[in-house]
Amino acid sequence: MLDAKHIKALENMVGKENVYSDKAHLIAYSYDATRTRYEPDAVVFPRNEEDVSHILAYCNEHKIVITPRGAGSGFTGGALPTNGGITLAMEKHMNKILEIDMENMVAVVQPGVVNMDLQKAAEEVGLFYPPDPASESYSTLGGNVSENAGGMRAAKYGITKDYVMALRAVRPNGDIIRAGKRTIKDVAGYNIAGILIASEGTLAVITEITLKLIPKPKYTKAYMGIFPSVEDAMNAVFKSLAAGANPVAMEFMDDLVVHALKEKLGIELPENAGGLLIGDVDGNVPEEVEFQLATLEKSFKENGAQDFVVAHNAKERDELWVARRNASPVITIYGSKKLNEDISVPRSMLPVALKRIYEIGHKYGFKVPCFGHAGDGNIHVNVMVDGSDPKQLEEGHHCIEEIFELVVEMGGTLSGEHGIGTAKAPFMSIAFNEEEIQLFKDLKHAFDPNNILNPGKMALP
């Protein structure tokens, strides 16, 4: 519990109307997309960077723990106040697009801006903000930066970090830091923005983000490759890209997902489709789009594709994409709870990785439907268990642990885009040795010697 004098001090700083410790607020801010719950002791809505600075300096002095929070849509617990203290919620006041600079193709936003709102604002002036996490319509850019969010368009356009030009942030001691510039090149001083990206709110509180925008290519078409097996599809992924294809997205669904789509939604998909690859290609000229489609088709067919379908208009494109959009909800036919992990491996390892993941699932007796961003090697692996059976849940976690060991052995990572937070913290020792974990601790200590910022995440104290 937070002492009444601290509540009072916070109210004096940011106004009574921006500090809450009533039960309703504490419950409302107790969860995220992991569906686990930890109540904070207070929820504070800073009005601006100065507020953030005052709050942090005060909490640092009094060793009060702070958890920064965007939309609370993260999958790994980054925004969960696991140690109580203050939840610093950005969505109420610090949610403005401050500027769209068309001349330099740059947007300046506050951390609480929803990703899709920026995408729309950019599009209105003929520009494009590519990072599109599945949570794009509700997740915030502060959260996107803190977790280094990916998305489907990463295959061609990269991830959040590729768009962050500059940040403003507040250190736990209240110091306001400017990192980076509205310039393409900047090599003066350490790359502070680079270390804050993906740091899950453990090093500093981000108060302003300068993001690169790009011109949007005029022409887009969607494609679907239908393969007899997952292995064929996975071979086609890395071979088509190595052959020079550069699709906007290359999304994968396995046979289990295809079956669930037919069974649950009656979506028409080819009989005996063992694996699908769906995506968009784009270009400034129609010939570039055709070049991409031809490169993909050739490579797909060389790697066993039974069919290669191109959507020639918006309606056909929607029909192709409906399968991918529904992949996540339909797989509940295999179990009431999915243990969802977003592993990433070098693309050439995908065929073997998927084969061995299914074998591990089989050993435990679980179905493991897989789908996701194959074009960048990032696959959502879903171990389906009966959520009401504690034994299955425990077994499921062992299954996940084996999958992580496999992935790391193959040169892959625990997380392609969801982060570590609390959910993957137990697995950090699979991926990092003691010296590497020690460096993380040293860095954390350098930024936050009193350990007030989001403690207990990323397997840190």
Decide if residue 98 touches its own copies (CB under 8 A).
no
Q: Which of 106, 122, 296, 423 binds its own copies (CB under 8 A)?
A: 106
Residue with Cβ nearer its own copies (19 or 71)? 71
State in angstroms the smallest separation of the CB of 285 from its own copies.
Answer: 4
Tokens 């006041």 — which residue?
93
Residue nearer to its own copies on the CB measure, 12 or 191: 191
CA 455/CA 459 separation, integer angstroms: 9
69 neighbors 113 (Cβ within 8 angstroms)? no
- What number of CA atoms fall less than 13 Å from residue 10's CA on the CB side? 30
Beta bridge partners of 309: 224
Q: How far is the CB of 228 from its own copies (least distance, A)?
A: 22
Nearer to its own copies, 393 or 428 (CB): 428
The answer to whether 57 contacts its own copies (rule: CB under 8 A) is: no
Other CB atoms within 10 A of residue 318 CB:
12
The CA distance from 407 to 414, in Å, is: 7
- Binders of its own copies in range 330-359 (CB under 8 A): 344-348
Stretch that binds its own copies, among 30-38, 80-88, 283-291, 392-400 (CB under 8 A): 283-291
Q: Assess 199 for contact with its own copies (CB under 8 A).
A: yes
Among 18, 119, 135, 246, binds its own copies (CB under 8 A): 246
| Among positions 111, 419, 455, 456, the unique one binding its own copies when judged by CB under 8 A | 419
Cα–Cα distance for residue pair 313/220, rounded to 1 Å = 9
Q: Which is nearer to its own copies, 276 or 379 (CB)?
A: 379
* Binders in 123-152 for its own copies, by CB under 8 A: 147-148, 150
Q: What share of the chain is helix, strand, coil (3-state, %, to 5)?
A: 40, 20, 40
Under rule CB under 8 A, residue 194 binds its own copies: yes
Q: CA of 92: how far to CAs of 47, 81, 146, 188, 392, in Å?
A: 8, 18, 18, 34, 40
Pick one of 16, 96, 181, 355: the residue that binds its own copies (CB under 8 A).
181
Residues 159-178 that bind its own copies (CB under 8 A): 159, 161-162, 171, 175-178
- Work out which of 10, 42, 311, 420 binds its own copies, going by CB under 8 A: 420
Closest separation between CB of residue 44 and its own copies, Å? 23
Decide whether 181 or 398 has the Cβ nearer to its own copies: 181
Asked if residues 245 and 283 have their Cβ atoms less than 8 Å apart, the reply is no
SS (H, E, C) 202-251: CCCEEEEEEEECEECCCEEEEEEEEECCHHHHHHHHHHHHHCCCCCCCCE
Binding its own copies by CB under 8 A: which of 41, 52, 447, 452? 447
Q: Measuring CA to CA, which residue among 154, 153, 133 is closest to residue 144?
A: 133
Q: Is 182 in the site for its own copies (CB under 8 A)?
A: yes
Residue 198 interacts with its own copies (CB under 8 A): yes or no? yes
- Taking Cα atoms as reference points, which of 170, 202, 174, 176 lies closest to residue 57? 174
Nearer to its own copies, 265 or 294 (CB): 294
Residue nearer to its own copies on the CB measure, 283 or 396 = 283
The CB-of-191 to its own copies minimum distance in angstroms stands at 5
Q: How far is the CB of 110 from its own copies (least distance, A)?
A: 18
* Residue 48 found at the interface with its own copies (CB under 8 A): no
**Cα distances (Å, whole numbers) of residue 453 to 71, 240, 266, 415, 430:** 18, 44, 47, 22, 25
Least distance to its own copies, CB of residue 262, Å:
30
With both helix axes pointing from N to C terminus, report the angle between 230-242 and 350-364 in degrees, rounded to the nearest 10: 160
Which of 77, 80, 74, 41 is CA-nearest to residue 59? 41
- At 139 the three-state DSSP class reads coil
Touching its own copies, residues 385-414 (CB under 8 A): 411-414
What is the rounded CA–CA span in Å between residue 229 and residue 194? 40
Does 187 interact with its own copies (rule: CB under 8 A)?
A: yes
Q: How far apart are the first and last CA of the chain?
A: 20
Binding mask 58-77 for its own copies (x = CB under 8 A): --------------------
